[in-house]
Amino acid sequence: MKNQNIAIIGAGIGGLASAILLARQGCSVTIYEQAERAEPVGAGFLLQPPGQAVLSELGVLDTILQDAVPIFGLQSRTVNGYSILDLDYRELKGTQRHGLGVQRRTIHDALYRAAEKMERIEFRWGHAVDHCETTDQHATVTSNERTDQ
C-alpha cells in the first residue's frame, strides 16, 4: 500500500483511526473536515473489548484509560422486571475483560493528537466535500472549489 494517496472525509473517531493505520502502512493521507477545528460530536459510550484492542493497536488506549470507567456488567429490565439483558464480563471465557465507560471527546482527542504527529497525515479544516469521483485508478475530491487527485 506504500506511496498511495488516500482521501478520508471526516475527522471523527473512524476517520482519525483509519488515517493513522493507513499512514503507518506508508500511505499519504489527506483528511477533509467541514469543521474549522478538531471537535468531537456526541456523548459518551460503552467501549467494548474489541474496540479497546483497536485503540491499543493505535497506541492511544493507555491515554484513554486515564479518563475511562471500567464496566464489569450490564443489566436491563422492563418495568415489569423482565430481564432483557444480563451480561457479566467476568463470566466470559478467555482473558479478563470489561467494558469502558468513556467520553467521545477522550477518544477523539487521543486519536487527534496521535494523527497530528504523523508526517503522512494532512488535515484540511473547513473543507466540506462537494463532490467525490472514483475510478479504478484514482479518486478526485472537490472541496471548497478546489480539486485534488
Tens-place pLDDT, residues 47-100: 998 899 999 999 999 999 999 999 999 899 999 999 999 988 888 777 778 999
Confidence class of residue 13 from pLDDT cuts 50, 70 and 90? very high
3-state secondary structure of 117: coil
- Top-ranked range on mean pLDDT: pick from 1-10, 31-40, 55-64: 55-64
In 3D space, the residue among 137, 139, 141, 111 whose CA is nearest the CA of residue 124 turns out to be 141
Residue 20 contacts residue 58 (beta carbons within 8 Å): yes
pLDDT digits over 113-141, tens only?
999 999 999 999 998 888 888 877 777 88
Residue 149 identity: Q
* Burial label, 124 (beta-carbon count in 10 A; 0-12, 13-18, 19+): buried
pTM (two decimals): 0.84
What pLDDT is recorded for position 90? 83
* Residue whose entry in the numeric block shows the C-alpha cell 415489569: 80
Largest CA distance in the chain: 59
Is the alpha carbon torsion for 96, 101, 106, 111 positive or negative? positive
DSSP annotation of 38: -
What pLDDT is recorded for position 146? 66
